[in-house]
Structure 1
Amino acid sequence: MTRTLFCPSRTIPAAFAIGGVLLPLSSLAADDGTATSTAMLLPEISVTANRVPTAADATGSALTIITADDLQQRQTRILSDVLREVPGVAVNRTGPMGTLTQVRIRGAEGNQTLVLIDGIEVNDPASGSEYDFANLLAGDIERVEVLRGPQSALYGSDAVGGVVNIVTRRGSGAPSLSAAVEGGSFGTWAGRATAGTGNDRYDVAVSAQGVRSTGVSVADRRLGNGEKDGYRNGTLTAKAAVRPTGTTELAVVGRYTRFDSDTDGFTGGRGAVDDGTSTTGKQAFGRVQGKAVFLDGHWEHIAGLSYGRQQRNYRDARGQTTSTYEGRKTKLDYQTNLSFATGPAAHVLTAGVEHEDDTGITRSGYSNFDRTIGSTGLVGQYKLDLFDRLTLTGSVRRDGNDLFQDATTWRGTAAYRVEDTGTKLRASYGTGVKNPTLFELYGYTATYAGNPDLKPEKGRGWDIGADQALWGKRVVADATWFNQRIRDLITGTGRTSINMPGESRVQGLEVGLTVEPVDGLTLRGSYTWTEGEDSTGAELVRRPKHLASLNANYRFLEDRANANIGVVYNGRTSDWAYDSFYNRQPVSLTPYTLVNLSGSYTLTERVEAFGRIENLTNRHYQEVWTYGAAGRAGYLGLRLAL
């Protein structure tokens, strides 16, 4: 496991769900009802890496964990902003807050990253099977795990590059209410409120958060675009669980987002230009899950039903809807885990079955279709721990598809720990598959027609790395070398999409360092070098060769005050530029460095003041050709606990 970033807290929510998996009910029963935190003090555990709870130092995959404390220290409003500090992750946003935001892991495409929120797959079938991070507010998030490398053996299609698993807060302890409000640059106001309670028999939490801003121009203002483009977002989350006995649980979660984003047009030859267009949309996600444990906690059964619906309405300058895209995803899943020990060995056998239906609907003057693709996956995994030093896993998955040839994927990992020296060696190898999107198969515009003969993309990749703890674990260093290959890569040719012959190749190095020189001060740095090219030898666009970050956080005055500085470097990257006939050619985007400052001070037991400055040096840059970004901005706010 890569522990470069975000690991000062050793907490994990008791009802941490991932793809139908929860922590053991014995963990849920540990709450004495007196805690006010939303998380319980437990050893650092990952659920994403193996679909079953696994100690972080026993995972063979490269993994970064982000906690609620990390988000609060940085005063993160949009989750994608903190993902820029994760090794191997590139974030691209087409303008300021609220515009299309893509996350790429280790050079894979944005739609090759599987995203889960509270166990619900949120990749949009009507938007390239990709999740747009633009509207994911961070105010209710308890924990994020970023798992890198091919994970289709565990999670199926969309997980060729990796997995981002997000878990929101649950209720805990006596009834509580907290709220925060802030305001600042670009006419921005934001707020959130959370209420929750829980004990060993039940928990419930409800949160509301929103942001409103008059914004800046989406099209780069340095190219003559002066129109301000505003953004509005409102998000509601509710989750609850009941545990009628010590061995059973029924949990439910729901999330609803409504957004309105002013956008700009795009013309060949000029790129993004002011035109008064906008996008409105809504997202609704829900999951019901039941769990039962037998054989004194050794045999678990988890069954769940998830549903997601995402809709986008594109409007012209008069506010009239010109096109609508709607994606729906329904998933049924069942998983069972059997654990037992034989001498110095501990075993966990996992088996699961999942059925998923993806629907894409488009309505416009040039494109109308309503298509559904169904798939069924069978997954099995064996996890072996030996002598509390060596952990091995082997996974295999078989996916049956309505349209494509059935696919088999597999993965193996190994982690070896040397306690005397604080050393961990790890390695993983996996294969992946990514099905063509509904739009690539059937969509069309005035200049584009889908290709129903497309084949799924196939990937394989490996990594090898080491983690080293020193000075009583006040220093933790890690390094990972990775290599990935993708065959039958799907690319647009202007009028349709095709599978490219040959292999696309990506390789790179991830390095991290965490240092706690004195109590209260934590320094974290990371560097990623990535080299990627398609089968013709052309550089992959929007994949910077060099990414780096540095974060320093200091708690002082008996933890009443906190100061944080974050620096993110994004190296030179390439993108596509289009002429007046929409023929494309590569262009180079200049590197940039962002510096963010934040601080907070506890005024009373229940009131905290906070503030931050984003883009301190007022850096002007483009993450996507001709799309601009916000300049220096400042914000002040208050947090209340009732």
Structure 2
Amino acid sequence: MYKPILNKRNVLKFTHFSNRSYSLFAVLGKEVIIGVLSVATLQNATAHNSCIEAELTSSDSTAINKNIALGEVNVTGTRAPLTTSQQARMVTVLSREDIQAAPVQSVNDLLKYAVGVDMRQKGPLGALTDVSIRGGNSEQITVLLNGINIGDAQTGHNAFDFPVDISEIERIEVLEGPAGRVYGTSSLLGAVNIVTKTPPQTSLSAHVEGGSYGYLRAGSRANLARGKWNNQLSGSYTRSDGYLRNKAGKLNADFKTGKAFYQGNYNDEQIAVNWHAGMSLKDFGSNTFYGAKYDDQFEHTFKTFTAVQAENRQGRFRIRPSIYWNRSMDRFELFRDAPEKYAFNYHRTDVYGVNLNAYFDWELGRTAFGAELRHEDLVSGNLGEPLNRPRPIHGTDRNYTNGLNRTNVQFVLEHNVILGRLTLSAGIIAVKNSQADMNMRVYPGIDASYRIGNAWKMYASYNTSLRMPSITELFYSVGGHKADKHLRPEELSAIETGVKYNTRYVNGKASVFYNHHRNLIDWISDGTLDENGAILWKSVNFGEINTMGVEASLDFNILNILPSQHILKKFGLAYCYLNQSEQEHKNIVSKYALEYLKNKFVANLQLNIWKQLDLGLNYRFQHRMGSYLDTANNRHTYASYGILDARLSWNEAKWSAYLEGNNILDRNYVDYGNVAQPGIWMIAGIKIEL
């Protein structure tokens, strides 16, 4: 159980540790996890490699602040900061080492190796990707950048337009299952938190790579560290000619993206302040991405991100306020460069948010509480209710004629108790949204874990959450779509139990979970055609759907198991099985809800071929349920497929050169109906660190 923290500066020296009941470390069993973390992440899981600022709390409540290198880091599975071993919920962490070893060029591509994540591509290399967790869809997860919610109220399709290049990411955390009291109520089925980091020393880096289909990516980063201040600026540019042609014979899966990101921080003994500002610009040919009948679609997106966070680092009461503003601008062309055929759709969304999170330790444990005010303001040419005063669309002679304002208010209360090897975490989130006709609703959750020895942990949880419909689901009634502005919020309750095993040789985990959806939102087709003869998709509350799932993984550190050899480095296997109680209805096709991954298997092998020459192999097999309609309104079931990717690299201290191959077996496959994915894709590149 946590003890109160006082601001005394006595220096304690320990000559040995004991396992007696009065030992300083008895509350954490045999693992030497020292006291509580002073990095009050609350919403932000920053992990400074394996070096964490920790507080040593003695039995007489004396605290000493110092930096200690520990083997585990602070992750966000609860509202209050707890270490990995203390967490009652399991969080999948993709480390910087995992990111550098994977044959990927975007966050979207990296997540395809997380077994509980469904990454459905409509374009390669992050051009357009829908990311979901445990049988859900892209609208049902929260996407965060350094703990700040950057989700777009308009649609989840462009949620992964990050302002940072993948080379600047320190770690990615994936929290599976309802995460309402951790990240807010939009995280119906989980959350993905992207964590960046400024190096502690002044540095400079650059990278460039090129490959198939006219692919090119280049970027650089400059970091200036001076005393308590740190500032970093990075940028990147990516382009490709694309791999798909329309009926007219023109390439129309081309894309180009530009990213710029500035982040800084100030740290002293009393306070830590972090801030960031970034932008993402993307143009891409959408081929048949949004409708099989139209194969010359195009989309332009422009996003900006700003945020400031602070936290005090002394005292028994820790508080972490943050404020942010994200803007998203989108132009969709049903017929590329041809507004005379069909007027372009313009949208602009501004999201303003204020968070106040805090926690304190007392005799009965650690209590955390928080509040968030999030305001979403959309103006559009076709989404929302008619505006009283139309607003001009920049760069055109048109006006935004429609729009929607809504404000979401939520309050969180959570309490954590550690009793020896047992961790209990329980809390509630209360939420009210101005757009929905509802009173304030309360969603509870409880997590528990018990550590058996130094390697085993058993855990169980029950959590609930809700999600407000996106503005697209409420109002998008053009181009073969008919929306319902009276959609009710989705709700979900989930039960999960599992076991985790962790040693320096083998890491493994297995879990069983059950999700109960109410008022699930989906786009369906019952065979009705629109005025242009295209299939008409309608947004509906699909009803109740139950999902039972099993997830398991094993990772072997072969260098530790067989230290006499240096060829085999790591080997990992993971499998996820899902089964929904809801079956396809006669003459009704689901666009998202029933098109889930029933089976997903991933495997990876890391080899050291010779000296600094490494080879990584990544394989994934996917079996998707559901079906899709072609342009002739014929139904097709999804075919299973297996994809093999590889990365060959020469790694030196200051530079690396690499050759990557995606889909090297050249398989034909689709993640969405009528959108064929590319065959073999080769990329070569070099990175330099100064």
TM-score band w.r.t. shorter chain = 0.7 to 0.9
1:617 positional shift: 0.5
Q: Distance in 2 between matches of 1:586 and 1:134?
A: 35
Report the alpha carbon displacement of residue 57 of structure 1 after superposing the two structures with TM. 2.4
**Structure 1: runs of 5 or more not aligned:** 1-12, 31-38
- Per the alignment, residue 650 of structure 2 pairs with 601
Shift of 1:429: 0.8
Deviation of the 1:196 alpha carbon: 1.7
Q: Which has the higher contact order (CA 8 A, sep 6+)?
A: 1
1:611 aligns with 2:659: yes
1:620 to 656, 664, 668: 668
Distance across 2 between alignment mates of 1:313 and 1:182: 29
| Matching residue within 509, 517, 524 for 2:550 | 509
Quick one: structure 1 residues 18 and 153, their matched pair in 2 at CA, closer, same or farther if it must change by over 3 Å? closer
Deviations 1:41-61 (A, max 9, x none): 543224321133322122222
Pair 1:478 & 2:509 matched: yes
Which AA in structure 1 matches 2:272?
A: E
Question: Which SS does the other structure have where 1:157 is aligned?
Answer: coil
The answer for the alignment partner of 2:541 in structure 1 is: 499
Residues 46 and 195 in structure 2, CA contact (< 8 A), matched pair in contact too: no
TM-score (structure 1 length as normaliser): 0.86
Name the SS of the counterpart of 2:478 in structure 1. Answer: coil
Q: Which amino acid aligns with 1:322?
A: F
1:636 aligns with 2:658: no
**Contact (CA 8 Å) 1:231, 1:262: kept in 2 or not?**
yes
SS in 2 for 1:86: coil
Query: Which position in structure 2 is the counterpart of 1:323?
Result: 345
Read off the aligned partner of 1:485 and give its amino acid letter: H
| Displacement of 1:28 | 7.2
Equivalent pair of 2:584/2:626 in contact (CA under 8 Å): no
Residue 281 of structure 1 corresponds to 301
Match of 1:571 in 2: 623
- Alpha-carbon shift at residue 83 of structure 1 (Å): 1.0
Distance verdict in 2 for CA 1:601–1:265, change over 3 Å: closer
Offset of residue 272 of structure 1: 5.8
Query: How far apart are residue 638 of structure 1 and its match?
Result: 1.5
Q: Which position in structure 2 is the counterpart of 1:379?
A: 412
**Could you tell me how far apart the structure 2 residues matched to 1:537 and 1:48 are?**
39
Alignment of 1:468 onto 2:501: yes
Superposition pairs for residues 179-578 of structure 1, below 5 Å? 179-198=206-225, 201-217=228-244, 227=251, 229-243=253-267, 245-265=268-288, 271=292, 274-275=295-296, 277-295=297-315, 298-315=316-333, 316-318=335-337, 320=339, 322-340=344-362, 342=363, 347-363=365-381, 368-387=401-420, 389-404=421-436, 405=438, 406-419=440-453, 422-445=455-478, 448-469=481-502, 473-493=504-524, 494=536, 496-501=538-543, 503-519=544-560, 521-534=569-582, 540-555=593-608, 560-577=612-629
Q: CA deviation at 1:14?
A: 11
For residues 656 and 669 of structure 2, the distance between their equivalents in structure 1, rounded to whole angstroms, comes to: 34
The 8 Å contact of residues 626 and 638 in structure 2, kept in 1 or not, is answered as yes
Identity among equivalent pairs (%): 20
Cα offset for 1:622?
A: 0.8
| Aligned-residue offset at 1:576 | 2.9
2:288/2:675 contact within 8 Å kept: no
Q: What is the Cα deviation at residue 489 of structure 1?
A: 1.4
d(CA) in 2 for partners of 1:545, 1:162: 18
TM-score (norm 2): 0.80
- The aligned residue for residue 3 of structure 2 is none
In the TM superposition, what whole-angstrom CA distance separates every residue of 1:212-271 from its partner, at most 9, and x where no partner exists? 11121177xxx996635321111111111112x402122211121111112214797xx2
Q: 1:201: Cα distance to partner? A: 1.8
Aligned residues: 597
> Which of residues 185, 197, 202 is equivalent to 1:169?
197
In the aligned structure 2, how far is the partner of 1:620 from the partner of 1:516?
Answer: 33
Structure 2, unaligned runs of 5 or more: 1-36, 55-66, 383-397, 525-535, 561-565
1:5 is matched with: none
Distance 2:556 2:47 in 1: 30
Structure 1 residue aligned with 2:63: none
Contact 1:17 1:118 in 2 (8 A): no
Amino acid at match of 1:54: L
Distance 1:107 1:637 in 2: 35
Displacement of 1:461 in angstroms is 0.4
The CA distance in 2 between the partners of 1:434 and 1:314, in whole Å, is 25
Instruction: State the Cα distance separating 1:314 from its structure 2 match.
Output: 1.9
Q: Structure 1 residue 408: deviation in Å?
A: 0.8
CA RMSD of aligned residues (A): 3.1
Residue 473 of structure 2 aligns to a residue in which SS?
helix
Q: Residue 97 of structure 2: SS of its match in structure 1? A: helix
Counterpart residue identity of residue 374, structure 2: E
Partner Cα separation in structure 2 for residue 306 and residue 332 of structure 1: 7
Structure 1 position 390, deviation (Å): 1.1
